[in-house]
Amino acid sequence: MSRALLVAGFGAFPGQRINPAQQAVAALARRRAAFALSDIALHCAILPSEHAELSPRLSRLFAETAPDAVLLLGVAARRRALCVETRARNRVTLLRPDAARQIPWSRAIVHGAPDDFVTPAPAALLAAKARACGVATQVSRDAGAYLCNEAYYLSLLMDRRAVFLHLPDWRGAALTAASPALESVAKALVLA
């Protein structure tokens, strides 16, 4: 029986007109046949870089695709290595506007919900898969306080087997070189 994998990454946002996460999703989508050979039904989506649209979009994607695993992608331009995030916190910054130039009205993503979630996914294994493809990779406990953390928190809150990858600001050849690592991580996530 085929397993469903949802890969979702963010589009442009203030300060990041071209988001490598969006390009990484497109690169993985082009490998749909390779995923099918591993008995994985690959679903790809671009997430809105807007607080008000994020939760409804994730809910629709989960309902439409019924994923066995979720791989979320975002960019962390200051990081030098691929980061496998292990924890999402119930907080968001009130200092950075989203793509709609809006700022959340509260620091809590979901009032009354747990302070944080730790992914059930095998982060060390996923990091090892990326390293085996020659990509510098770290395991991180800080998904930030912007939309990346929010998407991760909401996914884990919705009881999804999810992991978030923060990509360095990979462009062109660097993103192409990292694509096999992203594919390896994606397959390992759904098959683990």
Q: What is the pLDDT of residues 65-90, one digit of tens each?
A: 999 999 999 999 889 999 999 999 99
Q: Which amino acid is at 69?
A: A
Domain that holds residue 83: 3-191
Classify 108 as helix, strand or coil: coil
Asked if the model's pLDDT at residue 160 lies above 90, the reply is no
Q: Which tokens sit at 35?
A: 């995923």
> Long-range contact list for 52-58, CB < 8 A, 24+ apart?
52/100, 52/102, 53/100, 54/147, 54/150, 54/151, 54/154, 55/154, 58/8, 58/151, 58/154, 58/155, 58/158
Q: Are the C-beta atoms of 103 and 96 separated by less than 8 Å? A: yes
Least confident of 53-57, 124-128, 170-174: 170-174
Structure confidence at residue 146 (pLDDT): 94
134 φ/ψ angles, rounded to the nearest 5 degrees: 85, 15
Q: What is the DSSP string of 131-160?
A: HHTT--EEEES---SSHHHHHHHHHHHTT-
Sign of CA dihedral 28, 30, 63, 14: positive
Distance (Å) of CA 176 to CA 3, 18, 117, 134: 26, 15, 32, 12
For strands 162-167 and 69-75, give the pairing: parallel
The CA dihedral of 161, 38, 173, 17, to the nearest 10 degrees, is: -40
CATH of the domain at 128: 3.40.630.20
Average pLDDT for the chain: 94
**What backbone torsions phi and psi does residue 45 show, to the nearest 5 degrees?**
-150, 155
Count of structural domains, the chain: 1
Place 98 in a pLDDT band, splitting at 50, 70 and 90: very high
**pLDDT at position 15 over 80:** no
